[in-house]
Amino acid sequence: MTDVKTDERTTGTPGTRAGAVRALLRGTPENAGLRQAIGWGIGLLVLIGAFGLQTQLYTGQVRTVSTVFMFVGLAAAWNLIGGYTGYACFGQVGFFGLGAYSTAILMVHAHVSFWLSMAVATVIAALFAALVGWPLLRLKGHYFAVATLGVAEALREVVINLPKLTGGGAGITIPTFGPDAPTPWLGNDGFYVLFLILAAVAVAVGGVVAVSRGGYALRGIHQDEDAAAAMGVNTTRAKTLTFAGSAALTGAIGAAYAFQQTTLFPVRPFDVNITVLMVVMVVLGGSGTVAGPVIGAVAVAYGQEWLRQHITTGHALVLGAVIILAVVFMPQGFVNYASDAARTGRLSLLDNVRRYRL
Amino acid sequence: MSQFLQATVYGLLQGCIFGLVAVGFSLVWGVMNVVNLAHGAFVLMGAYMAFELNQAVGLDPFLGVLPAAAAMFAIGYLIQRGLVNLVVNAPIFITLLLTFGLELLLVNGMLIVFTADYRSIPTDYAAHSITLPGEVHVPVGRLIAAALAVALTVGLSWFVRRTRTGMAILATGMDRGAARLMGISARHVYALTFGLAAALAGAAGAAVGSVTTFSPADAGRFTLFSFVAAVLGGLGNTYGALLGGLVLGVFQAWGGQLLPGTLVNAVAFGALVVILAVRPQGLAGRAFYASRVEV
Regions of chain A with pLDDT less than 70: 1-30
Max Cα distance, chain A (Å)? 76
Using a CB-CB cut-off of 8 Å, the residues of chain B touching A358 are 85-86, 88-89, 186-187, 190
pLDDT tens per residue, range A22-73: 666 565 666 778 888 888 899 899 898 888 888 888 877 888 899 999 999 9
From A36's Cα to the closest Cα of chain B, the distance in A is 28
Per-position DSSP letters for A244-297, written without gaps between them: HHHHHHHHHHHHHHHHHHSEE-STTTT-HHHHHHHHHHHHHH-TTSSHHHHHHH
What is the DSSP code string of A118-155?
A: HHHHHHHHHHHHHHHHHHHTTB-HHHHHHHHHHHHHHH
Residue of B nearest to A89 (CA): B93
Topology (CATH level 3) of domain B2-290: ABC transporter involved in vitamin B12 uptake, BtuC (1.10.3470)
Q: In this complex, do A141 and B261 lie within 8 Å of one another by their Cβ atoms? A: no
In chain B, % of residues over pLDDT 70: 96
Contacts of B100 in chain A (CB under 8 A): 276, 280, 320, 323
What confidence score (pLDDT) does residue B207 get?
92
Summarize pLDDT for A198-209 with one digit per residue, the tens.
999 999 999 999
In this complex, the residue of A141, A313, A327 whose CB is nearest that of residue B101 is A327
pLDDT in tens, B215-233: 998 898 898 888 888 888 8
Q: Is the dihedral of CA A130, A132, A134, A138 positive or negative?
A: negative
CB contact under 8 A, A146 and B261: no
Give the ipTM.
0.86
Q: Where are the beta strands (DSSP E) in A167-211?
A: 172-173
- In the predicted model, is pLDDT for residue B287 greater than 70? no
Domain ranges of chain B: 2-290
What span, in angstroms and rounded, lies between the C-alpha atoms of B59 and B47?
13
Strand partners, B214: B119
- At B138-167, the pLDDT tens digits run 889 899 999 999 999 999 999 998 999 999
CATH class, range A32-310? mainly alpha
Distance (Å, whole) CA B139 – CA A188 = 55
Q: What pLDDT is recorded for position A11?
A: 43
What H or E segment, with its residue span, contains residue B132?
strand B129-132
Closest CA to A338 of A280, A304, A301, A289: A289
Residue A12 pLDDT? 44
Reported pTM: 0.85
